[in-house]
Amino acid sequence: MTALEIVAVVVSFAGIWLTATRRMLCWPVSLVACALYFKLFLDVRLYADMVLQALFGLAIVYGWIAWTKGQDDAGEVVVAPLRPGRLAAGLAAGAVGAIAIGWFTSRYTDAALPWMDSGLTSFSLVAQYWTARRHAASWLLWIAVDSLYVGMFVFKGLLPTAGLYAAMIVLAVVGYRRWRVAGRKDASIAIA
């Protein structure tokens, strides 16, 4: 456990909480968390997760813009439904990405857990994209991914980070419940 890891955990937790409660401040806070975890993952040779943090940085900028455009008249972020075709396409993209990244990192790097790290990285990108698009289903994918991340981080001895990911599972449950309720409200307003 390092000071860097502890700060990254605190900032990440704040960013996830702000996202679960649909606060725009989630984006700059999450951007700082990405930078901190980029450095941490570089230090422990989880290269796919390190690259994931850089990609999350880009996705955060995209999400920030998308959420700005996806607000109602009161300034609330509107939850959008995830259509079955887009769900299937996202999961397929996650699987293809997992195979491609896993193949590359297992052959060309000294990554500690190339296949697991790559699979979690790929599906995290899908979940992040769905979050940026304001889909409540993103939280279900986060629950699955974060559950596996807990085990990987325990294995790598990153116990505060494993604890963060365990807490993120709880936050994802909270986020899913809140976003489902908001999505139903948004849908009923759109129909009226």
Alpha helical stretches, state H, the chain: 3-20, 26-43, 47-69, 84-108, 114-132, 137-155, 159-191
| Spatial separation of the C-alpha atoms in residues 128 and 185, rounded to whole Å | 23
The rounded mean pLDDT for the chain is 91
Q: What percent of the chain has pLDDT over 70?
A: 96
Greatest distance between any 2 Cα atoms in the chain: 57
Beta-carbon neighbour count of residue 74 at 10 Å?
A: 5
Of 40, 66, 63, 43, give the one whose Cα is nearest residue 53.
Answer: 40
DSSP state of 81: -
Q: Is the pLDDT of residue 191 over 60?
A: no
Tokens of 163: 């604890």
Q: What is the pLDDT of residue 185?
A: 79
| Spatial separation of the C-alpha atoms in residues 168 and 192, rounded to whole Å | 35
Mean pLDDT for the stretch of residues 70-93: 92
Task: Give pLDDT tens digits for 93-142.
Answer: 999 999 999 999 899 988 888 999 899 989 999 999 999 999 999 999 99
Of 107, 100, 109, 98, give the one whose Cα is nearest residue 148.
Answer: 98
| Spatial separation of the C-alpha atoms in residues 169 and 186, rounded to whole Å | 25
Band of the pLDDT at 146, cuts 50, 70, 90? very high
